[in-house]
Amino acid sequence: MLMIIILAFDYPRSASEDLGCRRGEFSRKHYGSVELLISSDADGAIQRAGRFRVENGSSDENTDYTPGTWRRTDVHLENPEYHTRWYFKYFLGKVHQNYVGTDIDKNPFFLSVVLSDQNNQRVPQYRAVLWKKTGTQKICLPYSPTKTLSVKSILSAMNLDKFEKPPREIFTPEIQKDLLLLEEQEGCVNFKFGVLFARDGQLTDDEMFSNETGSEVFQKFLNLMGETIALRGWIGYRGGLDTKNDTTGSHSIYTVYQGHEIMFHVSTMLPYSRENKQQVERKRHIGNDIVTIVLQEGDDASSSFKPSMIRSHFTHIFALVRYNRENESYRLKIFSEESVPLFGPPLPSPPVFTDHQEFRDFVLVKLINGEKATLETPTFSQKRQRTLDMLIRSLYQDLMPDLHKEMNEIQLGWITNMLNRRSFSDVLPDSPKSTRKKEEARQAEFVRIGQVLKLKTIVRGDAPTSLVTTGMYR
């Protein structure tokens, strides 16, 4: 009997969502309530209504408060890429096997298998990744030196037993680049967040976007979030900004947090137009960000921000930030569109931070988790599934001529067919000396190309296993 150690499916629920499910009810205490937030024009006509989950730490914003304490360990990234991006972490640049086939419904799929250590404990185990149009599956299986493991047994463990075309091994080393692209469809490693400055009393997006400059408090907040970089000639993650001709401004705010590059689309740093009162150029960037930070000046009673003030159907999460000059603290409130799954960390009660470094870490983690949670909503997940299906079918069609060629070479004796006879191990099969040398050369080239791909990914800043953090508060 085949013993399965781990069976993991991609697109997992966040830890916060599991928490809510375990309790069996929606937790207002930790994740707020869902409220109907409505905006109206000067004549009282409703402009737009939307349901948002409001997180405010379950404290009254208009009462005096003493900044509370909260556990620093609560702040962590959910479903971090260095745990979920298996192909980059365990496969790329190492000897492994890749297969292609079609299921009973004629849908193509790809399978990758590698023999690796179990958590660096020098205990060998198999890791397998299955790419299908509905997403990816991942599994760990035990290694036995006395029992071979076939491709079909691995697929059976992943509930794939019937095939229109049985799986065949792909020998071309360039397949690694294509599989890396498939894995990248799980979500972005890097992020772009909008930052909008709202003066006291401003209640429309036209007013907020028309602020030509910020304030001392706004600049202090930007300095806390990241460093100011010149866009022209910038070689890091650009978040859709122009790095050649300064058409999207000359400078921006940038940081790296636990391997994630973050570019902030700052309203006052994007091009300002005296003629265009709607500031279309600014809205073009910030309005297409999933997450937007709004720093609003003034006390809570004088102006109350609502997501409906921002005319964007794309932004799903707003982080409202207020600064208290008296005790130099930040107060945070989170608005999440109701379809977004719960995500952590939960806001402390009250949601007030006097330690600015802890505030920075909390905001960045909350927003990264929030954007990743948003990608699980039907709007984004369906689009991602269509993209994945298109990529898999395109790759399958591109590979078919090469697979037919390889089959001809197998019949001529150039390549040993290992689909049913080959066990997954680090030992080459018994074969004539010339064939063995060719297999060794093929594996060496396979590993070399994989290592080059891995290095290029790291250099361009897209490595999902990086834990680098920069731009700390100074």
SS (HEC) of the chain: CCCCCEEEECCCCCHHHHHHHHHCCCCHHHHCEEEEEEEECCCCCEEEEEEEEEECCCCCCCCCCCCCCCCHHHCCCCCCHHHHCHHHHHHCCCCCEEEEEEECCCCEEEEEEEEEECCCCCCEEEEEEEEECCEEEEEEEECCCCCCCCHHHHHHHCCCCCEEEEEEEECCCCHHHHHHHHHHCCCCCCEEEEEEEECCCCCCHHHHHCCCCCCHHHHHHHHHHCEEEECCCCCCCCCCCCCCCCECECEEEEEEECCEEEEEEEHHHCCCCCCCCCCHHHHHHHCCCCEEEEEECCCCCCCCCCHHHCCCCCCCEEEEEEEECCCCEEEEEEEEECCCCCCCCCCCCCCEECCHHHHHHHHHHHHHHHHHHHCCCHHHHHHHHHHHHHHHHHHHHHHHHHHHHHHHHHHCCCCCCCCCCCCCCCCCCCCCHHHHHHHHHHHHHHHHHHHHHHHHHHHCCCCCCCCCCCCCCC
**Predicted pLDDT of residue 84:** 83
Fold annotation for 15-19+35-57+188-374: Rossmann fold (3.40.50)
Task: Extract the tokens encoding 135.
Answer: 């997403």
For residue 357, what pLDDT is reported? Answer: 96
Cis before residue 124, ω within 30 degrees of 0? no
Closest CA to 109 of 156, 155, 149: 155
Q: Is the pTM of this model over 0.75?
A: yes
Q: Return the pLDDT at 403.
A: 59
81-186+381-413+429-459: same fold as 15-19+35-57+188-374?
A: no
Cα 439 to Cα 307: distance, rounded to the nearest angstrom: 60
The whole-number pLDDT of residue 192 equals: 97
Domain boundaries in the chain?
Answer: 15-19+35-57+188-374, 81-186+381-413+429-459
Which pLDDT score is estimated for 405?
Answer: 56
Q: Which CATH class is domain 81-186+381-413+429-459?
A: alpha beta
Report how far residue 410's alpha carbon sits from residue 70's, in angstroms, rounded to the nearest whole number.
64
What is the predicted pLDDT for the residue at 196? 97
For residues 262 and 190, the answer to whether their CB atoms sit within 8 Å is yes
User: Which residues of the chain carry a pLDDT beneath 50?
Assistant: 1-28, 34, 36, 39-42, 45-49, 61-69, 73, 407, 409-430, 473-474
What is the model's pLDDT at position 81? 78
- Cα three-residue angle 339-344-348, rounded to 5 degrees: 120
